[in-house]
Structure 1
Amino acid sequence: MRTRFCGVLALSFVWMLQAEDWRQFRGTFASGLAVESLPPTQLSENHIQWKASLPGRGLSSPIIVGDRLFLSAAEGADQSKLVVMCFHAVSGERLWKKTFLATGRTMCHEKTCVAAPTPVSDGESLYILFSSNDLICLDLKGHLRWLRGITVDYPNVSNSLGMASSPVWVDGVLVVQVENDSQSMALGVDPRTGKNLWKLDDRPKGANWTSPIPLPQMDPPCVALQSSKGVDLVEARSGHLRASYKEGASTIPSSVLFGSTLLTPSHGLTALDLSQAEGDLPILWRAKSFSPATASPMVMDNAVFVVNNAGVLTRGSLDGGKRQWQVRLKGPFSASAVGFGHHQFWVNESGLVQVVDVSGEEGEIVSQLDLQETVLATPSISNGSLYLRSDQSLWKLGTPPIL
């Protein structure tokens, strides 16, 4: 049986395509690609439109809804103060800050933190997940709608290294991947109440930092759950398992969708055919030399791109994973790339932003900007601007005003 991929946008995911919004980790379809506009590619300090101070620590990405930017952080010696903030995306003014106390465990590896998952929005509400497994729903003005301590419901949900999987919103359901060393699960949560619509108890045990991949173009809309065992395609409304790939996958970089193909970090990089999403997912091709490290793969300019542990960016064909070129970037990288058109923005851990033109016969670094702070979070793009965060700072990079 072949799965129907809709030829037109379904109402269930029109929310994702509001032209300049960036409502979840890696933006629309979790692809890392901007929908309409490109930030400046010849970066300099003149492109820093504003810089705002942040409290505590945070590895989550900014999300943008309209002219509002939302971000999470964690404060306190034990990071037990959970912070959600709203900034004006144009001016950088902080509009509000809300603080909650963690109900779950806050232990983390020193490199990560409690505010590692990126929030998600449906355009009307914010859904913020923390490593303490506290899930908070606010309206866009910061008013609390509900708060749920997942560890209160399931006391053995714990990962001593810290949780980082970001929630996604698919077909009116909030999908949360809570995979850990003990009580591992995935939840379909009612965004109106915070209660379970479904729960998958048979998720692999073990730390998993990958995020669900929304598949709203499938009929019915699904979500891809990646783990050490492989990839499961689950219907968003029911939690029904549609198809699986069972040959293992990374638990750090997430998969990326291209049309009806899911490119999964597995045995290098494995291309899975979602057009036949029943039973075992067919393998289209596998490229063992493509081994993404921490950053998730990206598809753009009719090619797939990965960065390995040595900081080498590789471009490969989408019809077989054949290597086309390589260029060495200055790493290491924890953040995944974002981009538009023919340009990618890579930010290394020391805060060096590198803009790469990927359209030629060789990759070319066309500009660099050193933010001089540790940056581990993936950037966001909205209205032709690039938004980045460290623990201490939030930046907007855009075209300088004409004087």
Structure 2
Amino acid sequence: MRCQVGFRSLVTACCCAAVLVVSQGCGRQIPVDEIDATSSGVTLTSTGSDNALHWPQWRGPEGDGHVTDQQLPTNWSESENVLWTSDVPGRGHSSPIIVGNTVLLASAIEAESKQIALGYDLQTGQKLWQTTVHEGNFPAPREIHKKGTNANGSFASDGNMAVVAFFNNGQIYVSGLDLDGNIVWQKSIGQFVSRFGYAPSPVLYQSWVIVAVDHSAGAYLTALEISTGEIAWRQSRGPISSYSTPLVKTIAGKDQLLITGGDQLASYDPATGKELWSTPCIAASTCGTVVTSGDLIFASGGYPDKETVCINASGEKQWSDSTKVYEPSMLAAGDYLFTVTDSGIAMCWDGKTGDVKWKERLGGNFSSSPILVGDLLYVADLKGNTYVFKANPDEYEEVAVNVLGSDSYASPGVADNSLLMRCGFREGGERKEKLIRIGNP
């Protein structure tokens, strides 16, 4: 078996239906304790919240980068349309989420070996609280990609609890915090053998959060009850070394949990964790999150192979080309698929046929993922430029290029007609991170 590589930017289960041993192929084997949803005793319920959920998880309410009913500025700089700027201790690629009046981030302070959670006031930028989630037991530097951090994943929140996952002490820990920053529960959901660190974010599904842990010594998916951290199910995925956050969507009338990696795009029932179908495609290692339009599913990556695919709700491949979109996730808008590749090429496909409508070289390199606001796409590169262009299938139509900071690895969050961005700034030869709210004054 080939050794695969790649990169992206929780109490052990007590109810075990089966113990599977999977081969890592490049090292030791780790048993995966599968937990059956029917015997775990954890009930799935539809939940509501009194809190306004602006941007509750990675890539927003639907996990696809779509923004509704927001008026964002198209032009800004350090002196224009910046409502506030706040310092972020440490370093991380965790993207901001916004719940009510609180902006949530994860970060890692390397010098202190601390993985932390942060809460900021949406209106003022004041840091409301800082909670140490883990101290010590950081992975060795060789276990983290040079572009990566020890806080890559974003929070997910139902409006009452906020959940985050960290790689620490050779395991993946999932922690549930209240919105005042207090740790309510914390669990290790299993071991993790790292090649380049851990990247996925938790995703919401009714009263559960689902966490992907793909590593070649024994990959698995786990669903946890968001208020208590009880494990509802755990499903083995085999020897897969990959970095993608899954997506939950209702497609053809059925809820599906979609994730790439391991030379396939796979669909699981989010209520049980059981596989519905899988389609050979893309690459062994992927980073981007799947996107959908109607009953069509789009995905791209990766390493060592490169492919962009369209698959229908039953897992049948509709079209494919050799484009590689590795770290950024793509964006589907109506009948069209848009992206900016890692190497800075903006593209548009006809989603139904796979025909390339246009390509435009923007330059630079990209890790963050685009959002769609009305008919405008916003996406930031690794030099501090944020490109705004129209979701026009006929041609690349640039609206603005805005410079702020020296880099942006994280993807933006949106709330109250404003953009929340996590950016790096060079100050006195040292890189520091800031959280910035951009909006019309």
TM-score range, shorter chain: 0.7 to 0.9
Counterpart of 1:228 in structure 2 is 262
Quick one: which of 161, 168, 188 aligns to 1:125?
A: 161
Question: Corresponding residue for 2:186?
Answer: 147
Query: Which of residues 165, 169, 172 in structure 1 aligns to 2:200?
Result: 165
- Aligned match of 1:298 in 308, 316, 331? 331
What residue in structure 1 maps to residue 311 of structure 2?
272
Q: Which amino acid aligns with 1:73?
A: S
| Equivalence for 2:30 | none
Question: Is 1:259 the counterpart of 2:294 in the alignment?
Answer: yes
Q: How does 1:32-71 map to 2 (within 5 A)?
A: 32-44=65-77, 45-71=79-105
Please name the residue that 2:113 is paired with: 80
Which of 353, 360, 365 is the equivalent residue of 1:332?
365
8 Å Cα contact 1:20-1:383 kept in structure 2: no
- Contact persistence 1:20–1:36 (CA under 8 A): no
Structure 1 unaligned runs (5+)? 1-10
Equivalents in 2 of 1:73, 1:34: separation in Å? 25
Residue matched to 1:175:
210
- C-alpha distance in 1, partners of 2:413/2:85? 15
Task: For 1:95, give the aligned amino acid.
Answer: L
Q: List per-residue Cα deviations over 1:171-197 (Å, max 9, x = no partner).
A: 322111111132321111222322321
In 1, Cα distance between the equivalents of 2:392 and 2:237?
Answer: 43
**1:352-402 CA distances to partner (integer Å, 9 max, x unpaired)?**
1111123373212221221122211111122221111035100111012xx
Q: Aligned with 2:62: secondary structure?
A: helix
1:378 to 373, 392, 411: 411
1:395 is matched with: 436
Cα deviation 1:136-165 (Å, max 9, x = unaligned): 101112222101133xxx34x221311101
State the Cα distance separating 1:256 from its structure 2 match.
Answer: 0.8
User: Structure 1's 363 and 13: CA in aligned 2 closer, same or farther, altered over 3 A?
Assistant: farther
Aligned-partner SS, 1:115: coil
Structure-2 residue corresponding to 1:96? 129
Equivalent in the alignment of 2:20 = none
Task: Give the whole-Å Cα distance in 2 for the aligned partners of 1:65 and 1:29.
Answer: 15
Out of 104-113 and 129-138, give the one that drifted further: 104-113
Partner of 2:62: 29
SS of match in other structure, 1:166? coil
Note if contact 2:56-2:97 (Cα within 8 Å) is conserved in structure 1. Answer: yes
- Distance in 1, matches of 2:74 and 2:47, equals 30
For 1:193 and 1:335, how far apart are their aligned partners in 2?
32
Farther off after superposition, 60-69 or 212-221: 212-221
Q: Give the partner amino acid of 1:53.
A: D
Distance across 1 between alignment mates of 2:158 and 2:75? 33
Q: CA deviation at 1:38?
A: 3.3
How big is the shift at 1:219?
5.2
Contact kept, 8 Å, 2:300 with 2:325, in 1: the verdict is yes
- Deviation by residue 1:67-107 (Cα, 9 ceiling, x = unmatched): 21111101133x63111111111211111111122576533
Distance in 2 of aligned mates of 1:104 and 1:223 = 32
Asked if 2 retains the 8 angstrom alpha-carbon contact of 1:255 and 1:263, the reply is yes
TM-score of the two chains, using structure 2 as the length reference = 0.79
Is contact 1:103-1:134 (8 Å) kept? Answer: no
Task: Give the letter for the 2:287 counterpart.
Answer: I
Offset of 1:342 from its aligned partner?
1.4
Q: Which amino acid aligns with 2:286?
A: T
User: 1:102/1:178 Cα in 2 relative to 1: closer, same or farther (>3 Å)?
Assistant: farther
**Could you tell me whether the CA contact under 8 Å between 1:221 and 1:236 is conserved in 2?**
yes
Note if contact 1:13-1:170 (Cα within 8 Å) is conserved in structure 2.
Answer: no
Residue identity matched to 2:197: G
Report the alpha carbon displacement of residue 217 of structure 1 after superposing the two structures with TM.
Answer: 5.9
Structure 2 residue corresponding to 1:112, chosen from 148, 171, 179: 148
Native 8 Å contact 2:293 2:333 kept in 1: no
SS for the counterpart of 1:353 is strand
SS at match of 2:437: strand
Matched residues, number: 376
Q: Does residue 273 of structure 2 align to residue 239 of structure 1?
A: yes
Distance in 1 separating the partners of 2:110 and 2:326: 31
User: Are 1:354 and 2:354 an aligned pair?
Assistant: no
Please tell me whether the aligned partners of residues 117 and 129 of structure 1 are also in contact (alpha carbons under 8 angstroms): yes
- The question of whether the paired residues in 2 share the 8 Å contact of 1:171 and 1:236 is answered with no
CA contact (8 A) 1:170 1:223 kept: no
Which amino acid in structure 2 is aligned with residue 68 of structure 1?
T
Percent identical pairs in the alignment equals 24
- Runs of 4 or more consecutive aligned structure 1 residues displaced over 4 Å after TM superposition: 11-15, 102-105, 216-220
When residues 240 and 102 of structure 1 are mapped into structure 2, their CA distance, relative to the original with a 3 A threshold, is: farther
How far the C-alpha of 1:222 sits from its partner, in A, is 2.8
SS of residue in 2 equivalent to 1:361: coil
What secondary structure sits across from 2:420 in the alignment? strand
1:325 counterpart SS class: strand
Cα-to-partner distance string for 1:176-228 (whole Å, 9 max, x where unaligned): 1111132321111222322321111233332x111011125665533112212
Change (3 A) 1:196 1:20: closer
Change (3 A) 1:203 1:192: farther
Cα separation, 2, equivalents of 1:351 and 1:14: 38
The one of 246, 249, 257 equivalent to 1:212 is 246
Residues 170 and 221, structure 1, Cα contact 8 Å, conserved in 2: no
